[in-house]
Chains A and B, each alone.
Chain A
């Protein structure tokens, strides 16, 4: 029983970690809190639904395509909303507010158009067959979540640490002006980072939509609250912190639901986030940041 709970917790945590990874990447490199990020999550799930149900594409391909399209949406939204603010050197809260407005706009448009009913993936493209191993039961969707998470995390690690593009990304994260003086095309790197994070957010949406087989417009908003908790626990902009904190939150939520009460499950993240702010505001692995004038 405990083993199964832990397994389910790790799978849930893997999605939280994956989702928070894209979110923290935007903050770490571009220095903005992009609230439209939750929308990519919902959009990914809806796109997967459209690809499998409307176009009859296989689930694996739909997952990939949804990630690519949400990545594209993220690039466009960043260009429309945040590039003008960057150009005007607006204060940091301006980007928070503009993405907040955009979030409200996108969600309410989406729910006005699609309705708020829960939609389900067609059974012919996706049947959740499970495996039994050492007395534990793991479903195909759960396996796919773990595999996707490992692939994305190692791929991102390779990209940022071993490639020239990754060097440019890290340089921009460290010091934007200096990176540009060194000849790095900040606009291009911004678009790449937006694409990557949007894609990751979309993938997470498909995976959760598939795992629970429930897709609705506001699912991203719910996820965003978990994402905030994870990035605060792990430290804003800290990728390793997001991964560990995501897994931790998944396990703790599952254990809370299993042993204390399922109504408290969704309060765990917020409680831990406020606790982190009180006890260790830089997060689990954070370093104290020094404000540059």
Chain B
């Protein structure tokens, strides 16, 4: 019987890892959406984390914990650079400023011979694995719930519902936005590092616009009423293409359709109805 499970784990290993990694990405999106901002750079931040960590692993042979620090830190620095000027502007500026990030970084990777250029980087050592990925996911979920119940979480909710009113109440809105963006970039970077170290290979085109939109669709489908929403959204959208294999070419068509119908018909997502507080606005 245990052989059966070992076999199952082996056969579906990449799917199971994918579930965990995508759920972490969904959470990274949640952190931004929770304060009513939209970042379209999550795939780009994931890519930066993947490249930073893989280079340190492959070229310098550093140990995994050290590598993870870089995987979180480098995307966080990049998020700082791109998002600081948009903090005091309307939310659309952040979305537009981050939408081009993935493409510019792709050009950068392609032209960077040390990182493998257009061919990508291979031979990344096998690190992490099931317990690392799902342990991180559990930790992040716990942290998200804890923060959500704290003063910080209530401030974030206030900013999401009405930025101006929140500011008038004495909440330092730009500071919260900046913190949320930097943290979300760091989380995406860690997901990128996990992904690179379980797939052993990364390429410049892995972190493009489509991936950014897919990450957004995890959070939108699941809803952002609770941190569990994006996690379930990611599980569903990661498992769904496996169940609907015949769709192959039309997988992204389905993702697009999901985003459109969720925003128009169920703006609160699939898993959020029981999380709404009684008497909440709208």
Contacts and interface: CB of A to CB of B under 8 A. Distances in A.
Interface of A: 33, 81, 84-85, 88, 90-94, 96-98, 100-109, 112, 221-222, 224-225, 228-229, 231-232, 236, 263-264, 266-267, 269-271, 273-274, 277-278, 281, 291, 293
Most chain B Cβ neighbours within 10 Å, of A104, A267, A269: A104
A266 B257 contact: no
B147 interface: no
Given A96-B38, A221-B209, A101 B263 contact: yes
A33 B95 contact: yes
Contact of A81 (B81, B108, B111, B260): B260
Question: Which secondary structure characterizes the binding site on chain A?
Answer: helix
Given A93-B92, A100-B216, A267-B108, A273 B97 contact: yes
A33 B90 CA distance: 12
A101 B92 contact: no
Nearest to A100: B213
B97 A104 contact: no
Interface of B: 36-38, 40, 81-82, 84-86, 88-93, 95-97, 99-101, 103-104, 107-108, 110-111, 164, 209-210, 213, 216-217, 220, 249-253, 255-260, 262-264, 267
10 closest A-B pairs by beta carbon, nearest first, are A101-B259, A105-B256, A104-B256, A108-B252, A277-B85, A101-B260, A98-B263, A112-B249, A270-B100, A270-B104
B75 to A, nearest CB: 16
Contacts of A100: 40, 213, 216, 259
A85 B262 CA distance: 12
A93 B257 contact: no
A228 B40 CA distance: 13
Given A101-B263, A277-B89, A281-B86, 14 more contacts: A85-B263, A94-B263, A96-B92, A97-B216, A103-B256, A104-B252, A105-B253, A108-B210, A108-B255, A224-B99, A229-B100, A264-B107, A270-B104, A277-B86
B59 to A, nearest CB: 23
Contact of B213 (A90, A104, A225, A277): A104
B100 A225 contact: yes
Given A100-B213, A277-B85, A228 B253 contact: no
Given A266-B107, A274-B97, A102 B256 contact: yes
A90 B79 CA distance: 27
B82 A101 contact: no
A259 to B, nearest CB: 17
B36 A93 contact: yes
A232 B104 contact: no
Contact of A278 (B85, B101, B258, B259): B85
Contact of A101 (B88, B107, B108, B257): B257
Contacts of A271: 104
B89 A281 contact: yes
A90 B100 CA distance: 25
Contacts of B104: 266-267, 270-271
B257 A105 contact: yes
A78 B231 CA distance: 31
Contacts of B95: 33, 93, 96
B213 A101 contact: yes
Contacts of B88: 281
Nearest to B108: A267
A186 B12 CA distance: 54
A97 B99 CA distance: 12
Given A96-B95, A102-B260, A281-B93, A108 B86 contact: no
A265 to B, nearest CB: 9
B103 A84 contact: no
B86 A104 contact: no
A78 to B, nearest CB: 13
Nearest to A263: B111
Contact of A267 (B107, B251, B257): B107
Contacts of A225: 99-100, 103
A186 to B, nearest CB: 20
A92 B97 contact: no
Contact of A93 (B91, B100, B253): B91
A225 B96 CA distance: 9
B117 to A, nearest CB: 11
A102 B97 CA distance: 20
A232 B263 contact: no
